[in-house]
Structure 1
Amino acid sequence: MKKVIKFMNLRVLFVIISVVLILGGAVGTILRGGFNLGIDFQAGLTMRVQVTENAFTITYTGEGNASFNINRTDVAVNITGTEASDQEYIFRFEDYTNLRSLRDALQSIPGISTELAADENRRADRLININSPVSLTRAGYTAHVLPQADSEIFAPISSMREALSSLGGAQITIVGPGINQEYTIRTQDSGEIENFSDEMSTRIQSLLAGYFSKGVILVNQTDYVGPRFSKDLGKQTFYLTGIALILILGYAWFRFKLGYAVSAIIALLHDALFMIGVIGTFQIEVSTATIAAVLTIVGYSINDTIVVYDRVRENVTLMRDTDFETIINTSISQSMSRSLMTSFTTILAVSAIYIFAAGTVKVFALNMIIGIVIGTYSSMFIASPILLGWTNSKNRRKHSKEEMKFGKHAEKLLPAGKPGDNGSGGEPDAAGAKEVSVSVERKLQGPQLIERKPPKLKKKPKSKKH
């Protein structure tokens, strides 16, 4: 068997570290002014805007229908409905590096005309992507390009906050790389303004247009949540979390014993409190994605805890003559490599999501990474010490009852610290309990007088006379 690490010798240190970190998270959240509630839990308006400038206007006057799209690597034009076959034109940015060369290429398509609005030497790969192809008509479509760092409409987050300073309390966060100049603006609805969504949206666009007078403000997304909806959503979140914990408690109680179930729930509460502290201290947005991540971590953490507990239950049967603390140390040592490798591979996958994703998916991945780390820690170093403390406390109570019933000699007669008294079920079996009770009674009754009968004498056979 592999070397057994005496984790339980450090159980007090583990508990102290967890308490200090949770209290630190609570203090950090208070000092930061509370949680950064998202639009889901706070009545108000959320807008995602981008500060850009016009690049060129493209029109189509030919036969049939034309669509235009800008992707990350190229510009595409599709022409359909003509007498000739449908045609698709793709111009890659690696071949057409600036707006001038791209304009000339587009104008080579029959019926297409373009008019530059930005510097013709601007990089073509700085064009703003279009989420879906747009139809080209005589009215034309205006493409946009990100401004350069030395441009008058270069918009770092400090400029955005200055432009919207008159709103008071508006929360501004960067979406994606800062070079894209895309921001999320969140304003709270106090109920004092009627038709808050339209009024505030118009005001934000007006303030940004006035500050970046030579730029173009693109509104990529607008969401509004009313006070009643946010309140109901908060209640539902609380109820869902409570129901999940109750179901987990029942499952662990059914599969193991009450001590196992209580220890697992305390470890889950430890994980939730730790994550809440981190979210509040670092002002991570609290949204439905955050709640989904917390509930996912609850399921992930209980899985790791059940693996350790299952090994404990198995070792209780195999190591009958070993104290419960050694059994727990052995179980953690045996299952630690499995738990660490599982958590490490999961973190690799979630880290990829965090690096390449954006928005709520990125927030979800960040919460998952934090939760996986703390969940793995608690399943081994918080749940198990609590189980050991629960079992030791239960054994002490049982010995106290035996002393009150049979006297001070009962403690010497009871096998303290054996697997029959610990987490394998918490109580010895019926036969063992009967034997202990009989032995205690005999011990307390003192020496017994035993009536001895005299042995019977055997008669010698008579000898025959010859």
Structure 2
Amino acid sequence: MLKIIPDGFFFDFLSKAKAAGSVSLLVVLASVAIVAFMGLNYGIDFKGGTDMILKFEKPLDSDTVRAAAAEAGFPDANVQEFGSSGTQFLVQTSAIAIVDQAKIESLRPELAKVGTLKNLVWSDENPERMDLTFDGEVSNEAISAALAPLVGPVEVEIDTTGAEKRQIVRFEDLQSKVTEGFAKALPDTFNPVGGIERLETVGPRVGKQLRDSGVLSLVVALFLILAYIAFRFDLRYAPGAVLALAHDVAISVGVFSLIQMEITLPTIAALLTVVGYSLNDTIVVFDRIREALADRGENEIEYTINQAISDTLSRTIMTSLTTLVAVGAIFVFGAGLIKDFAFALIVGIIVGTYSSVFVASPAMLFMHRYLATRRELKARTESVA
């Protein structure tokens, strides 16, 4: 079997634990500070907006599609090539409808010109509808004429089901706006029939729920791992494993914040994958430590742990390098969300390989000494009593 570390290799890893721990603490604190001051660049999944995949009849570049998106009414659009043909693009925008809260507020003065507006109801959960109540009679045609210059054609109908008469305004749907906008901006390359391959909209409230669920999934995973390690090994090992995983996630998120990488659902999936990968690495080391402790004889526990880490070092490095080669290929040749997913894995694998040696193992030694001290104190107390 190929080994990059020769048999009989030994290194005193624990003698470097204080230095490594100081570095880890500084990097984690720096990551927390970066996230606090720079924030996270949440994607459409978490802040709300629209994802669409557009197909063109001729190859284009991203700048051309971005300019067409701005002309169509989406100046904030983020455009990425989707696939390698040059005819498909992923377009992301914060718009979930042709109107938003700011646009709705700008409609009030125009509506006030046609009658005394008593109430206006609009919600981002149903952004294509607005309910109006006037003090007195106002015709549907007058409302349509007042709104058309600002939001385009609208449909107005009277609702008499409630205690008070109200008029319902229905705006043009977002897909129609996209179709019309790109057909006008790129008439030779965009086919209104079939040009939109996918269009998905996430409202701000749903995005917040997804964001909270993503954070909860990471927290639950760490607690379940704590329970599993405590059951699989014993209490000495569990805190070290969770500390290493929290260390990996904190640093990874700090890197994402530093480079302002978009945080999406695939990013959360990558972090959970990193948690699983790092845990696997840590369990291999812990399993060897447990075997060595059971047969250490007169050896000091520090020597035994160092020997166990040295014995598994070849496997740890080979596994990480093999995985990095595969993920690196995805990062180099991939695009869009899959590229971000691969980058998250690369960061996590590097940090996870380090933490299984320099974070989890020293923490296990600390817990061993702490529990041994407690047992001694308890024994002394009982003997005195």
State the TM-score, normalizing by the size of structure 2.
0.68
* Secondary structure at the counterpart of residue 258 of structure 1: coil
1:367 maps onto 2:273 in alignment:
no
Query: What is the one-letter code of the residue matched to 1:163?
Result: A
Alignment check: 8 A CA contact 1:351 1:369 kept: yes
* 2:154 counterpart residue number: none
Q: Compared with structure 1, are the counterparts of its residues 362 and 223 closer, same or farther at alpha carbon in structure 2 (3 Å cutoff)?
A: same
1:156 maps onto 2:63 in alignment:
yes
Query: What is the one-letter code of the residue matched to 1:40?
Result: D
Query: What is the one-letter code of the residue matched to 1:240?
Result: S
Deviations 1:393-416 (A, max 9, x none): 333444455566668xxxxxxxxx
Using the alignment, how far apart are the partners of 1:269 and 1:205 within structure 2? 45
Alignment check: 8 A CA contact 2:10 2:307 kept: yes
Identical aligned residues as a percent: 32
Using the alignment, how far apart are the partners of 2:312 and 2:273 within structure 1? 22
Give the deviation of 1:329 after TM superposition.
0.9
* 1:27 counterpart residue number: 33
**Equivalent residue in structure 1 for 2:333, among 356, 363, 368:** 356
Equivalent residues in 2 for 1:170-249, closer than 5 Å: 170=76, 172-175=78-81, 180=86, 182-187=89-94, 189=96, 191=123, 194-195=127-128, 199-203=173-177, 216=190, 218-249=195-226
1:262 maps onto 2:239 in alignment:
yes
Give the deviation of 1:251 after TM superposition.
1.7
Using the alignment, how far apart are the partners of 1:167 and 1:357 within structure 2? 26
Query: What is the one-letter code of the residue matched to 1:43?
Result: G
State the TM-score, normalizing by the size of structure 1.
0.57
Deviations 1:222-264 (A, max 9, x none): 1112344334333433443333223222221112111201111
* Secondary structure at the counterpart of residue 145 of structure 1: coil
Query: What is the one-letter code of the residue matched to 2:42?
Result: L
* 1:146 counterpart residue number: 59
Give the deviation of 1:26 after TM superposition.
3.0
Give the deviation of 1:162 after TM superposition.
9.3
Deviations 1:340-399 (A, max 9, x none): 101111122222333333333332222222221111111111101111122223334444
* Secondary structure at the counterpart of residue 17 of structure 1: helix
Using the alignment, how far apart are the partners of 2:71 and 2:33 within structure 1? 30
Alignment check: 8 A CA contact 1:163 1:211 kept: no
Count of aligned pairs: 308
* 2:23 counterpart residue number: 17
**Equivalent residue in structure 2 for 1:6, among 12, 32, 44:** 12
1:44 maps onto 2:21 in alignment:
no
The runs of 5 or more residues in structure 2 that have no matched partner are 1-6, 101-122, 130-170
Q: Compared with structure 1, are the counterparts of its residues 163 and 232 closer, same or farther at alpha carbon in structure 2 (3 Å cutoff)?
A: closer
Equivalent residues in 2 for 1:58-207, closer than 5 Å: 144-147=57-60, 156=63, 160=67, 163=70, 170=76, 172-175=78-81, 180=86, 182-187=89-94, 189=96, 191=123, 194-195=127-128, 199-203=173-177
Alignment check: 8 A CA contact 1:42 1:188 kept: no
Q: Compared with structure 1, are the counterparts of its residues 22 and 166 closer, same or farther at alpha carbon in structure 2 (3 Å cutoff)?
A: farther
* Secondary structure at the counterpart of residue 174 of structure 1: strand
Query: What is the one-letter code of the residue matched to 1:23?
Result: L
Equivalent residues in 2 for 1:300-379, closer than 5 Å: 300-379=277-356
* Secondary structure at the counterpart of residue 11 of structure 2: coil
Give the greater-gyration-radius structure (CA).
1
* 2:138 counterpart residue number: none
Alignment check: 8 A CA contact 1:157 1:174 kept: no
More helix by share: 2
* Alignment root-mean-square deviation, CA: 3.4
Using the alignment, how far apart are the partners of 1:253 and 1:305 within structure 2? 13
Query: What is the one-letter code of the residue matched to 1:362?
Result: K
* 1:274 counterpart residue number: 251
Using the alignment, how far apart are the partners of 2:177 and 2:71 within structure 1? 9
* Secondary structure at the counterpart of residue 40 of structure 1: helix
Using the alignment, how far apart are the partners of 2:359 and 2:77 within structure 1? 37
* Secondary structure at the counterpart of residue 8 of structure 2: coil
Using the alignment, how far apart are the partners of 2:25 and 2:49 within structure 1? 35
* Secondary structure at the counterpart of residue 93 of structure 2: strand
Equivalent residues in 2 for 1:386-425, closer than 5 Å: 386-401=363-378
Deviations 1:83-116 (A, max 9, x none): xxxxxxxxxxxxxxxxxxxxxxxxxxxxxxxxxx
Equivalent residues in 2 for 1:441-456, closer than 5 Å: none
**Equivalent residue in structure 1 for 2:270, among 258, 270, 293:** 293
Using the alignment, how far apart are the partners of 1:379 and 1:171 within structure 2? 41
Query: What is the one-letter code of the residue matched to 1:376?
Result: T
Q: Compared with structure 1, are the counterparts of its residues 179 and 255 closer, same or farther at alpha carbon in structure 2 (3 Å cutoff)?
A: closer
Alignment check: 8 A CA contact 1:43 1:224 kept: yes
* 1:82 counterpart residue number: none
Using the alignment, how far apart are the partners of 1:206 and 1:335 within structure 2? 61
